[in-house]
Amino acid sequence: MPAPDIAIPSRAPAEVSADDTILPFEVAALDLRGRVVRLGPAVDSILAGHDYPQPVAKLLGEAIVLGVMLGTALKFEGRFILQTKTDGPVPMLVVDFSTPDKVRACARLDKERLATAIAAGRTDAGALLGKGHLAMTIDQGADMSRYQGLVALEGGTLEDAAHEYFLRSEQIPTRVRLAVAEEFLAVSGGTSHRWRAGGILLQFVPRASERARVPDLDPGDAPEGVTPHTVKEDDAWVEGRSLVETVEDVELIDPALSSERLLYRLFHERGVRVFRAGALRAECSCSRQSVEAMLRSFPQSDRDDMVENGVISVTCEFCSATYVFEPGDVADKASSE
Ligand SMILES: [Zn+2]
C-alpha cells in the first residue's frame, strides 16, 4: 500500500453525506483498508440522461459505484474501464472512469427480452445480465500496455463477481457492498425523483506476509480423494467482513448519514482513520475531433454505408450527443480531392 496521506489534522467527522465523494480509510488494528463511495448528482445525471427502465438504471448504478470505487484507486493517470459482456437481456454495461475524477457509463439492452423479463419480475442482477464475463481494463495511454482482468459472471451479482476477481486475480480478501435507490421528493404539482448510490469496499492487507494466505483454488477435476488444502480465515478479516456484511443499503445512500459516521458506526471499537476524500463528476469525454478521427479510421466503403439523408450522423452512446458530418468532411484525402 502506498504511504497514506497523513498530513491532515484530525477533525470531527462530518455530520451529513458529501455527495460525489470517495473516502479512503484504514482500520490499522485489523489490517483493513477500504473506500466509501457516495454518489448524488453524478449518478443521477448519468442515469437520468439515459432513461433506461428502472431495473437497468439500478444495475448500471451499481456498476458505476464499483467502477468509481476501483478506478479512483489508480495511482497514475489513465482510464479504468469496467465492462460486462453477457447473454442476458442487458448484454453489456460499460463504466469508463478517467483519472482523476471523470466518469461516464452506458448499458446496451435487448429490448424485447428485457420487456419479457420485467413483465415476469425477473429483474435481479443475475437475471438481467445472464452469463458471460466482467472485464476490468486499465489503460495508461497509447504508449503503455493495457492490463485486463476477467472474471466470469454466472448469474450472480456484480458484488459476487468483484469478490471472485480479487480473490483469484489479486489474492486479496475483499468485500464490496453496492447500493442504488431512487429518492422521491415532494414538489409543487407532484413528486420528482433523483438517483442516489453508494458503496463500501473493504480489503484485508496484513503487514505480516504469512497472514496474507488465501485458500487454494478449488482443485477442479483433481483425482477423487484429494482434499482441497484449506487455510483458516484470519480472525481480523472475519471480523472486518462480518461488519461490512451488516451494512444496509439505506446506510450507503442516506444523505443524512456521512461516510465518516458510517465508518465510525462500523469500526469505532477498533479505531478507524480516514484520509483525504476525492471528488467525482459525471462528464463524457467525446468530442467532434475524436468522432471525426474514428470515422477517418474506417474504410471509405464503411463511411459510404453510413450516409443517410446526405450526412453521416454519429450519436455518442454515453451522453447521447450527436455529431453530424458532411461525407466530404471525413473522406480520405485522396478521394476528396
Ligand atoms: Zn459523449
Ligand 1 centroid to residue 191 C-alpha, Å: 29
Ligand 1 centroid to residue 112 C-alpha, Å: 26
Residue 25 backbone dihedrals phi, psi, to 5 degrees? -145, 170
Report how far residue 310's alpha carbon sits from residue 120's, in angstroms, rounded to the nearest whole number.
43
| Average pLDDT for 281-289 | 95
pLDDT on residue 2:
56
Cα angle for residues 128, 195, 261 (degrees, 5° grid): 110
pLDDT on residue 22:
96
Q: What pTM value is reported for the model?
A: 0.87
Report how far residue 82's alpha carbon sits from residue 106's, in angstroms, rounded to the nearest whole number.
11
| Average pLDDT for 221-243 | 77
| Whole-angstrom Cα Rg for the chain | 23
Cell numbers 489508480: residue: 74
What are the tens digits of pLDDT across the range 31-48?
Answer: 999 999 999 999 999 999
Ligand 1 centroid to residue 110 C-alpha, Å: 21
pLDDT on residue 76:
83
Q: Outline where 182-230 has alpha helix (H).
A: none
Ligand 1 centroid to residue 238 C-alpha, Å: 43
Report how far residue 84's alpha carbon sits from residue 276's, in angstroms, rounded to the nearest whole number.
31
What are the tens digits of pLDDT across the range 95-148?
Answer: 999 999 999 999 999 999 999 999 999 999 999 999 999 999 999 877 777 888
